[in-house]
Copies of this chain bind each other. A is one copy, B any other.
Amino acid sequence: MVQVTVDKVGLDQDGEQAVVLLADLTKSTLIPIWIRAMEATAIALPLQGLKAPRPLTSDLVISVIEHLGAEVVMAIIREIKDGTFYASLVLTRGDEEIEIDCRPSDAIAVALRRASPIYVMERVLAEAGIRSEEDTVQ
């Protein structure tokens, strides 16, 4: 697994789709993941250190996790099938580790809210990673 950070979140021109751009820690490889515009807000806010005036559904996910005595460990972007990314959220409760399947947008939104690391499996990086321009120029 390779650790990544969220480099950017952007909307496309008609505002219907959004892209979240993950980057490895050296910023030499970027992984663009298309998400729905409504999920972009849930990622953009914690990225800017902001909170929504009312809690979003991602905040409820955190609240449920904590009320049930668990903690967020990390988000993992696991695989791509037919162009669709699959992810999971890893939690711990005591000695127990719990992994829950979810969309990349949810995994990223929840991880960012707890400053938990985000990882991408090597095979996803190999298939969807693109070398960053800065790196190509050097």
Contacts and interface: CB of A to CB of B under 8 A. Distances in A.
In the complex, the count of this chain's copies comes to: 2
Given A38-B38, A103-B54, A103-B55, A98 B61 contact: no
A102 B68 contact: no
B60 A102 contact: yes
Contact of A93 (B55, B56, B68, B84): B68
A63 B101 contact: yes
Contact of A57 (B61, B69, B70): B61
Contacts of A42: 57
Nearest to A59: B102
Contacts of A101: 55, 63
Interface of A: 38-39, 42, 54-58, 60-61, 63-65, 67-70, 84, 89, 91, 93, 98, 100-103, 106, 109
26 contacts: A38-B38, A42-B57, A54-B84, A55-B103, A56-B57, A57-B57, A57-B58, A57-B61, A57-B106, A60-B89, A60-B100, A60-B103, A60-B106, A61-B64, A63-B100, A63-B101, A64-B68, A65-B68, A67-B91, A67-B98, A68-B68, A68-B69, A68-B70, A68-B91, A68-B93, A68-B98
